[in-house]
Structure 1
Amino acid sequence: MLPLPRLEESCAIWMLEMPSQCLSVHDLSMKVYKLIKKLLEKGLVEHSESPWASPIVIVLKKNGVDIRMCIDYRVVNMFIKLSNYPLPLIDDLLIGFESAMWFMGLDMASGFWAIRMTERAKLISAFICPFGHVQWVHMPFGLKNAPLVYQAVINNCLWGFVRIPPEEEAEVDQDVLDFLQLECQRGVVPEEKVPALTDTMTVFQRNIPMPSHMGPVLGRSSYIDDIAHGAASWDQLCEDLNKLLFRLRYWNISVSLPKSEFGKQSIPYLSHEISAEGIRATPKIAKGVQDLPFPNTL
């Protein structure tokens, strides 16, 4: 199932120029056709007239039937100016669990697709396939700055710095606004200026501050789309989870239930296992290191 799309633009890219690339057709074309058609129907991509055109790479999933379509952005990424937004240090994310007895780990569902692209970024994301020239409306995997853009969005969701623009907040479910004690913004931007703003500016460039009562929801950051949290009691964990889910709904971010764990006494997180007894390396990874052969050459 595809996630609901993100509403406001949060991904902007600045580029130089690149040459177009040739495309080879393979025997998976019908599967590519069905996938492209589905992406078009969901509004995740659109037809393009961009001067940019990256090739696709098709990978079979583990079941040997379904495909995963990747875009080869290696050339594009050479021209992208790297964002300075910081990723959190893993060591910093593995502290603060000392008094926790119950744990949860959340993985977001195709989180990058929850973020819309600016008009400039759409053109840069364009790719070619056997069925034409297509560009992303929502942020794809593979672009150099995509993890950093997503980190900025999820950090803002968890810590509560800026709010989504008023024209988009009006589409948020009323029960979410009530829970977060947010009143719809009215008259902030003249209606005639809204299209220009949403096409060219990210939510951070709009910079509409959250009310002071909207502080951190967990007091923890996420590592891109992975969130871990622990609480001293079951009731506290449930309360924290409820607050988190409402905050995620406000930002239209979906959780992947098959990849998430709730109410556990231990959870895997960033190649570690977290429990009330402490933190240790994931047994599978530790065994792989232990089984390394002893070096016999210099």
Structure 2
Amino acid sequence: MSGPVSSVDAPATQAEGSHATAPCVEVTDSREATVGEFRVRRALPRRGRRTVGAWCFADHMGPADVTEESGLDIGPHPHIGLQTVTWLTDGQVLHRDSLGSEQVIKPGQLNLMTSGGGVSHSEEATGHYRGTLEGIQLWVALPEATRHGAADFEHHAELPRTGLEDGVATVLVGEFGSLASPARHDTPLVGVDLDLRATSTVPLRTDFEYAVVVLEGAVAIDGKPLRPGKLGYLGEGRDELRVEVREPSRAILLGGEPFETPIMMWWNFVGRTQDEIDAAYASWSAQDDRFGRVRSSLPRIPVGPPPWRQADR
């Protein structure tokens, strides 16, 4: 489920986040892509929307059938400058990383990996699960204070949940109402799974910008319909959100303080400059020690040079 980001999603140039300072509903299409063996709907980044708070990537993957030995099949690949946040609504995935972590994730659980200055990982079949796999992987851009720091991995088997009018909200990251997720976050932000059976109202912060990614079903906000394959950007200034539920639905609410620092995204890297991306690309290509080693039977994922280096050749 991890990337990669290409120039089709957003130009490989430094860009500030753009945000609306008043409530709005801007609907954009996700891009269908293939990651490993899976079809994904990429809601972020898009050319018109790089970030929502510090959230800078959202891939809704599946549903698709997997077996004990064949699943996502995404071999070892590197990251810098971000956190990966993995949430499943169905199935199981095995995470392995260069820190030595080996963790199966199931629905209702959260995997969060912080890359800091460099980490690598793979996403694999579990060796025992056969059935349907569906979920979302999100990336969070790290702030200056932690983006060059040490890598880390967390698994949270239980997360706080609260009832809505006719549904349940699970707090993946950050604070939602009176609940706080135990997962690490380095900037003010929130991610919530909304499992809705009828129209519901959810609390928001007026200083956060928000977006909604629908995983299944159909909802509407301010009369504008949202289904899977769409992202609804909501701007800032709301203290609550009325979600009209047109059929039983599952959606991810993303929010945070606008991320004002210009970022550059290419492949599996989030940096600030071409030089940073070049250095990460060179380390991965040279197979030096920066990204460590992953104990995986899957082949390591290669990559060609960034587009600005291709232009120089």
In which range does the TM-score fall when normalised by the shorter chain? Answer: under 0.3
The normalised TM-score by structure 1 is 0.23
The structure with more helix, counted as a fraction of residues: 1
The normalised TM-score by structure 2 is 0.22
Pair member with larger Rg: 1
